[in-house]
């Protein structure tokens, strides 16, 4: 079968890919397993050397790769450049730190010698989304390879071009042939890959619905999985917040990647005493952002990745308005635009509305009023997701208390927008998934934490 990559700006076909057959997939997996048999014995210094080369290649091809993302999924060039730079950063981070993270750890027992050893598992299958087509891959791939694992990528079908380029970069950097390979298959064939006995672990970034299916399949085969799923991050704006700082951070977070980010701010919970002032400042900053061709250097917001995703988002907006929300900016599909959706703000958002209950995966902000801090925290946690959250206040000890003890999310920030960082563990709770990527904890997800005991 053939799979088409379509430009979300104009609907034109960019490329047509021939999907791998079942026999080809099996051959790829066999080749990856054979390559892993040698790679797991490769010294850390050699692994690090090749990963440093990857970082250099990424930076040297930054403009080309950013352009590819703009074509395939509509990311504005400035966002694409930043994404490639971040991929290079994560490669360098693990190239420098992986050996320390995975060194044997002695433990005092009655044995003459006992310690914890971290050993690779084998092939890690990654099922990745289109919204950050390079970053989502490298944040799992860099630690997986440094830990001595092999990897297979099943990327979203609209960014197969990005997937192929990642494989090319790994080969160009001198990694063994077949150690990392891309599977060009549709989503409905993933189960067959998971069932292959040579697949030892699965990592998925995507929707909660798909995550549950993959988790169930992996669990039925007793295979380790890590899931980074949807999010509906709440940002609390308290009465003593620096409103200029808060509004700028909130707009930046809400519109990152044209609003198509799991860790973007989506619900803005504002104390009633400052609601009017914050909302107007927020509206002005949202309205100033430029929507247009992602190839244009002045563009802040590109198209949504596909027309059906844009239409689904619009229906969430319309239903929320029908249930009583007020639209004070945007909320209308531009005439003649293939996949574009404008920056949109909904106010008077209440429980029961899609803007309150669901993830809005696009440039739509939901403003929710709270009488006080206690109610604001309750509203923030009154959601099935738990990926990230932030609180804005001039009282840093107050902000830290709320972030560390009261907000139910995997990452909580004070006076800053939520973002991933190679140095810090990243992941969610509740329907935002389980397990962690990045940092020390990320590289230890896909290893055998082995006890060695010598009497």
Q: Which are the catalytic amino acids?
A: 228, 262
Rounded Cα–Cα distance for residues 280 and 290 (Å): 18
For residue 355, which phi and psi values (nearest 5 degrees)?
-65, -20
Rounded Cα–Cα distance for residues 18 and 5 (Å): 11
Q: What residues have CB less than 8 Å from 222, skipping those under 6 apart?
A: none
**Proportion of the chain in helix, strand, coil states, percent, rounded to 5:** 45, 20, 35
* SS3 (DSSP) at 216: helix
Task: Give the pairing type, strands 265-271 and 233-237.
Answer: parallel
- Name the DSSP letter for residue 404: I
CB 270 within 8 A of CB 281: no
Angle between helix 160-172 and 135-146 (nearest 10): 30
Residues making up the chain, counted from first to last: 455
CB 184 within 8 A of CB 332: no
Cα separations in angstroms, 3 against 128, 161, 214, 230, 232: 17, 11, 22, 26, 31
Rounded Cα–Cα distance for residues 158 and 163 (Å): 10
* SS3 (DSSP) at 76: coil
Q: Among 208, 206, 215, which residue's Cα sits nearest to residue 260?
A: 206
Rounded Cα–Cα distance for residues 90 and 137 (Å): 11
Rounded to a whole number of angstroms, the CA Rg of the chain reads 23
Buried b (16+ CB within 10 A) or exposed e, 295-312: eeeebbbbbbbbbebbee
* SS3 (DSSP) at 278: helix
Q: Which residues pair with 5 in a beta bridge?
A: 15
The dihedral region occupied by 328, where left means phi > 0, alpha psi between -120 and 50, and beta the remainder, is alpha
């Amino acid at each position: 079968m053939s799979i088409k990559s379509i430009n979300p700006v104009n609907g034109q076909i960019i490329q047509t890919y021939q999907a791998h057959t079942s026999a080809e997939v099996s051959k790829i997996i066999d080749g990856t397993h054979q390559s892993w048999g040698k790679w797991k014995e490769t010294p850390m210094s050699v692994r690090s050397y090749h990963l440093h080369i990857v970082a250099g290649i990424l930076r040297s091809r930054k403009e080309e790769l950013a352009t590819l993302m703009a074509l395939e999924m509509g990311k504005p060039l400035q966002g694409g450049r930043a994404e490639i730079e971040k991929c290079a950063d994560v490669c360098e981070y693990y190239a420098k730190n992986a050996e320390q993270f995975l060194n044997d750890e002695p433990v005092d027992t009655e044995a003459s010698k006992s310690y914890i050893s971290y050993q690779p598992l084998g092939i890690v299958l990654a099922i990745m989304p289109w919204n950050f087509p390079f970053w989502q891959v490298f944040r799992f791939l860099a630690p997986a390879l440094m830990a001595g694992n092999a990897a297979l990528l099943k990327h979203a079908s609209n960014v197969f071009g990005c997937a192929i380029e990642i494989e090319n970069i790994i080969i160009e950097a001198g990694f063994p042939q077949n150690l990392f390979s891309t599977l060009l298959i549709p989503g409905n064939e993933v189960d067959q890959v998971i069932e292959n006995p040579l697949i030892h672990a699965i990592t998925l970034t995507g929707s909660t619905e798909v995550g549950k299916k993959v988790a169930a399949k992996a669990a039925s085969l007793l295979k380790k999985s890590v899931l980074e799923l949807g999010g509906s991050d709440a940002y609390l704006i308290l009465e003593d917040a620096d409103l200029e700082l808060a509004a700028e951070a909130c707009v930046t977070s809400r519109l990152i990647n044209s609003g198509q980010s799991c860790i973007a701010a989506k619900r803005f919970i504002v104390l009633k005493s400052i609601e009017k002032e914050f909302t107007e400042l927020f509206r002005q900053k949202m309205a100033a952002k430029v929507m247009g061709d992602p190839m244009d250097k002045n563009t802040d917001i590109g198209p949504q990745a596909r027309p059906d995703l844009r239409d689904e988002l619009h229906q969430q907006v319309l239903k929320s308005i029908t249930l009583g929300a007020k639209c004070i900016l945007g909320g209308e599909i531009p005439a003649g635009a293939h996949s574009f959706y404008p920056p949109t703000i909904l106010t008077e958002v209440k429980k029961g509305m899609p803007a309150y209950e669901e993830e809005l995966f696009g440039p739509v902000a939901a403003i929710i009023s709270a009488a006080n801090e206690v109610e604001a925290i309750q509203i923030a946690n009154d959601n099935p997701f738990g990926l990230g959250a932030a609180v804005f206040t001039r009282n840093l000890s107050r902000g830290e208390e709320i972030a560390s003890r009261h907000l139910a999310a995997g990452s909580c920030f004070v006076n800053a927008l939520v973002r991933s960082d190679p140095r810090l563990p990243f992941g969610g709770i509740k329907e935002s998934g389980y397990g962690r990527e990045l940092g020390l904890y990320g590289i230890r997800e896909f290893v055998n934490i082995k006890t060695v005991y010598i009497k």
